[in-house]
Amino acid sequence: MSPTNLLQFDRAGLVDWFAAHGEKPFRARQVFRWMHQRGVADFADMSDLAKPLRAWLRDAARLESLPVLAEQRSRDGTVKWLFDVGAGDAVETVFIPEAQRNTLCVSSQAGCAMACRFCSTGAQGFSRNLTTAEILAQLWQAEFNMRTSLGLAAGERAISNVVMMGMGEPLQNYSALVPALRSMLDDDGYGLSRRRVTVSTSGVVPMIDRLAADCPVALAVSLHAPNDALRDDLVPLNRKYPLAELLDACERYLVHAPRDFITFEYCMLDGVNDAPEHARQLVHLLRDRIPCKFNLIPFNPFPQSGLARSPAGRMAAFAQILLDAGFVTTVRKTRGDDIDAACGQLAGDVQDRIRRKPGRAGTSSVVPPQTIIPIRVETASPTTHLSNLD
């Protein structure tokens, strides 16, 4: 039997695994702390474990990191890793530094099946769900890589916020997602508060309800349109779960949420969803119904989309309508776009399942990296607070 990768367990799962092998629960807590608080991967270095236990773990278990295919560092301090998850699949993870926090954007799937028009990740197609170990390994490796890179003292945390906004739809990989979230929140793990862990969804309504019951963290919803006709075109999932059902789920989630609002993400597309009338429709749709904030996202172009970024002035006017209606409204700062690490760009090094030839479904290779073309960051109106992932 091959060794078990212990990164696949939250602490309760690790307790069960140790118990199945006749070990006491406190042993699981010890190992969990070594793994996630100290980043130790070699059981021989876990000095408070008995030597016979360390010897047994060496044969029965492993702590397996993800091979790094590429690491890119942006001029603004953003770091993007391309991780190999096997069988020709790769995922991307992004570290975003700011003055008051450092955020890690984590992937949940290799590719994405949502096919949102404005997202280059979705244009690559879907390969498979990641395991809990593969989700958590992104945080595990980034945390201890950046502790060293930033010269942090022992015990200082490099990553203060985690957002499940990388490749994939997290709620379509629910069984692997929740144990990973619990490890992020565990005081014996990364000790992040529920307010500092965000799951972003395109609107998988039944799983929003399950997350509220099982592991309520901050919720961000990819809205992108104020009516069903437009959202059907931009976010195909809307045809299954239209706005009325999605907003009902958001209301139910707020009963359990660690924040008293839902964040609605809205990608600004030139001439598509950025007219003043669209902003007024959003006001009518949400005012007096759901406590929320809007995060307006400058679109990051990619060739096959046929879409363009809204001009800065139009974004500012759109934001002002929402602000005047009393909504907290931010314009996301475009970070890491010179390394294709900005919102909607996580796809360049992932195999393109769409372009597979018939009869070769079992073979593939990682697509070569995209050419890095810096995109000019447009300045937002002074009336609009700039934010990255608030």
Give the containing element (helix H, strand E) for 19: helix 11-20
> What number of helices (H) and strands (E) belong to the chain?
11, 15
The single residue of 116, 119, 292, 343 carrying the catalytic annotation is 343
Residue 112 annotated among the catalytic residues of the structure = no
Cα(210)–Cα(212) distance, integer angstroms: 5
Cβ partners under 8 Å of residue 28, min gap 6:
11, 14, 15, 17, 18
The angle subtended at Cα 114 by Cα 353 and Cα 197, nearest 5°, is 110
Q: Residue 236: which of 114, 111, 113 has the closest Cα? A: 114
Which two tokens mark 189?
């793990």
Answer whether 106's CB lies under 8 Å from 176's CB: no
Catalytic residue among 92, 134, 143, 265: 92
215 is annotated as an active-site residue: no
Contact 133, 5 (CB under 8 A): yes
Cα-to-chain-centroid distance, residue 87: 22
Token pair recorded at residue 272: 């598509």
Q: To which H or E segment does residue 210 belong?
A: helix 205-214
Q: Point out the residues that are catalytic.
A: 92, 343
